[in-house]
Each structure stands twice: as C-alpha cells, then as structure tokens.
Structure 1
C-alpha cells in the first residue's frame, strides 16, 4: 500500500480479457465483513459526507470513474480520482470522506471490515473535528 492509501491490485493479463482479484491479507488490510456498491448516481450528486468511528473501508471503481475527497480535521481536502478497476483506496477509521464527480455508469465497490452499525457513522463535521482532535 502506498502512503496515500492507494492500493494497486494484481492484474492478470489475457487476450480474452483481463482479471483482477483481491484477498486478505495480501491486498486488503482487514477481513471483509460487508460489501456494498454505489451506482446510478445522478450527475452532480455527492455520496458519503461522513466518517466512521471504527470501520475501515476499501473503495474500488469497478466501472467508470469518481473522486474520493478526504477532508482532515482542519478542513484541508485531498482528492483521489478512481478510474481503474485494479486500483483501490484504503480509508482507515476516522477518515471524513465524500464521493463526487461520478461518470455515467460508474460503480463504486466498498469493502468494509464490519457489519453495518448506524452508531459507527459520524455525520456532523464539527463532531468529527472534536473527536479527531481528542484522539
């Protein structure tokens, strides 16, 4: 894994079509407990806008492209464009993020280390700042 959270996934090249895979612990730094995907996002819409207290996540653009925008507790943004199905972005716990700039027919695959827990979500940025600064 690179310092910026980007993960290069293996590529098996074949004239009949390429294959990429991932498995724990080689490419995924956690055991996968939940998988979900985001698709059919209308133009101009934003997904996310939260952080997780404990959950870690790996995001992959299976089709098309989109941007993952990470905002630190000071409000500084880092943008990562995902547009290759062999690249993933690792988001550790307490990472404020949103997804935007979805291309037509894009599919964002999310792999998580925990089951859905409503209480794990932090949806208020000021609360996130307070918690992050108190770590």
Structure 2
C-alpha cells in the first residue's frame, strides 16, 4: 500500500544561459513514460483542483509559473507540499489522494501522467478512497 513517504520532489535538469533557462524531462528524469500531458491555468482565486486519487496512475506535477499547494493524503497522514519552481516537480504515486489549492495569480500547473485517461482508474469520493486504502489497494 502506497504512502505519502513515496511522494517526492524530483529536480529537473536546468541548463542556465544568459538568454534564459531551459529544463528537459527525458530518459530517467521521471520513473515512467508519460502517456498523457495536461495543464491547469487561469484557476480563480480560492478555487481547488484535484480532489481525487488514482488506483494505478502516477503523475508528475510542475509549477511552470506561479505557485500552488498540493495536499496529499494516504489514508493515515496528510502532507502539504508547495510547488513554486519550474525545475522541480512532484511525483505522486498511485493510491494517494490529492487536492491542489492556493493558486497564485498566473499559476500554471503542468501534469505528466503515466497513463491515458481512464475513468475506472479514478477514485472521486474521499469515503471511497478510504475504503480502497482499507482493502489494501486491491480495488
């Protein structure tokens, strides 16, 4: 069963240049091949995103611009992580509930996912997430 201890920041290589910085995600930068990419932007002040968990999918979140908090719950502990640097991403393993909040003005959240969209992989109700975790993540 996965826990918040498995969620981690990963530094994305940064190439510095007088013309600006360049960061690249390739090879073994993240522990999966991305099969889906999406991004969140223009999130109204006070709004929350996420509010779900995945049974099998992993995600890698990056604050390309601005900042936001990621609230992580594994069924026993809660952890809040601030994303505010475009050369650091947050690896969220499967079986972790996530909520994104406190978006700064102009924040952009890029997400690389290990799988394409599959509704069956989502757990959208927290009470169902708790049941899933109590069953040992075998749902």
Q: TM-score, normalised by structure 1?
A: 0.93
1:92: Cα distance to partner? 0.5
* Aligned pairs for 1:49-64 within 5 A: 49-64=51-66
Name the structure 1 match of 2:132: 131
Where does the alignment leave 5 or more consecutive residues of structure 1 unmatched? none
Name the structure 1 match of 2:17: 14
| CA shift in 2, pair 1:80/1:128, >3 Å | same
Give the CA RMSD over aligned residues. 1.3
Name the structure 1 match of 2:8: 5
Residue 37 (structure 2) aligned to one of 35, 38, 44: 35
Give every structure 1 segment of 4 or more consecutive aligned residues whose post-TM-superposition deviation is greater than 4 Å: none
**Matched residues in 1 for 2:26 and 2:93: separation?**
18
User: What does the per-residue CA deviation read over 1:91-118, in whole Å, with 9 as the maximum and x for residues that have no partner?
Assistant: 0111100000000111000000100011
1:126: Cα distance to partner? 1.4
**Matched residues in 2 for 1:114 and 1:3: separation?**
19
Size of the aligned set, in residue pairs, is: 132
Question: In 1, are the aligned partners of 2:7 and 2:92 still within 8 Å (CA)?
Answer: no
